[in-house]
Amino acid sequence: MAKSSANDHSSFLAYKNYRWLKISVLICIASAIGYWMTDFDPVRNGGTWYGYTLGTIGALLILWLSVLGIRKRAITQGHWSLKAWTSAHIYLGLGLLIVATLHTGFQFGMNVHTLSYAIMVFVILSGLIGIYFYAVIPRKMSTNRAEMSQQHMLDEVASLNSLLIDTAQPLRNDYIPVVEKAAQTTQLGGSIFRRISGENKRCTTQKALTFFKQELRTTDNDMRSPVLDIISVLERKNALLGRIRKHIRYKSLLQIWLFIHIPFTFALIAALAAHIISVFYYN
């Protein structure tokens, strides 16, 4: 069996000792040197031979980077593993910002060329948010789940609901509806704002827990032990619901980012096509 190297366990940001960061930096330096050493009259712009060169490099980078969504569906090892591809996607995407800016010659206006540049900048900036999300959120999700799958956590909620009904048997009759409501109306998910917040102020389990903690202060000795038992089960369920809602929050943040980043990537490709067509049509 082949031995795995330390790089095999590094993050996608540090893949192969920051190989793609170094490549991206070299591309940016070479582009900048060529930009400043080449003399243009009257001004530098995307319509010069060097502007066309940088524009071609930028366009190819955009198309290549857009393939990552398709690449994620294929799992391979080696130089073009998903980790390697993601590392290249990040650092070459950041390098694209420099290449494309030099391509414009810092000439902007109210036209399709500037529009395509603006969309590109937005996609890259949203990509920076994605870097943070994918570097931090998966680890937080793993810690939060504590080796439990989402389905396992939901099954545990169902078990606790059954336990609530059984534990409620010794309680007074006026306490039973509170427990039944907590067991039968568990709310998870909901609106996008509720999923992102990771909270539910209408949670019947939390309300039942608050209710019985208040009742514990005034209940008689005969009911004290049954109330403590129901509080114990409610606390377990409430803690588990908190973990599930946090899990849903993390998943929702990733999904929202994808719903923004991917459509704007397609918009960038469309704007890029319009930019290229208009350049050759009007020139």
d(CA 31, CA 50) in angstroms, rounded, equals 9
Q: Give the domain ranges of the chain.
A: 11-145+262-282, 150-254
Residue with tokens 């409430």: 238
188 near 249, Cβ under 8 Å?
no
In the predicted structure, residue 81 carries a pLDDT above the cut 60? yes
268 near 123, Cβ under 8 Å?
yes
Percent of all residues in the chain with a pLDDT value above 90, rounded to a whole number? 48
The residue-averaged pLDDT of 58-73 equals 79
* Residue 76, pLDDT score: 52
In the predicted structure, residue 4 carries a pLDDT above the cut 50? no
To the question of pTM greater than 0.95 for the whole model, the response is no
The residue-averaged pLDDT of 186-198 equals 80
In the predicted structure, residue 209 carries a pLDDT above the cut 90? yes
In the predicted structure, residue 198 carries a pLDDT above the cut 80? no
- 3-state secondary structure (DSSP) of residue 56: helix
Q: At 266, which helix (H) or strand (E)?
A: helix 221-282
pLDDT averaged over every residue in the chain: 86
| Structure confidence at residue 3 as a pLDDT band (50, 70, 90) | very low
- 3-state secondary structure (DSSP) of residue 16: helix
93 near 127, Cβ under 8 Å?
yes
pLDDT tens profile 138-190: 888 888 888 788 889 999 999 999 999 999 999 999 999 999 999 998 888 77
Nearest to 132 by CA among 268, 266, 261: 261
What's the first-to-final CA gap in the chain, in angstroms?
Answer: 60
DSSP 8-state assignment for residue 202: T
The residue-averaged pLDDT of 103-114 equals 87
The residue-averaged pLDDT of 19-39 equals 90
Contacts 24+ apart (CB under 8 A), 199-203: 199/245, 200/245, 203/238, 203/241
The residue-averaged pLDDT of 245-254 equals 90
d(CA 21, CA 95) in angstroms, rounded, equals 9
| Structure confidence at residue 66 as a pLDDT band (50, 70, 90) | confident
* Residue 125, pLDDT score: 93
* Residue 93, pLDDT score: 92
d(CA 184, CA 157) in angstroms, rounded, equals 11
| Structure confidence at residue 271 as a pLDDT band (50, 70, 90) | very high
* Residue 267, pLDDT score: 94
Residue with tokens 């949203």: 126
Burial 28-60 (b: 16+ CB within 10 A, else e): beebeeebeeeeeeeebebebebbeebbebbbe
Q: At 12, which helix (H) or strand (E)?
A: none
The residue-averaged pLDDT of 51-57 equals 90
| Structure confidence at residue 37 as a pLDDT band (50, 70, 90) | confident
At a CB cut-off of 8 Å and minimum separation 6, what does 223 contact?
171, 172
| Structure confidence at residue 281 as a pLDDT band (50, 70, 90) | confident
* Residue 6, pLDDT score: 47
* Residue 1, pLDDT score: 40
199 near 245, Cβ under 8 Å?
yes
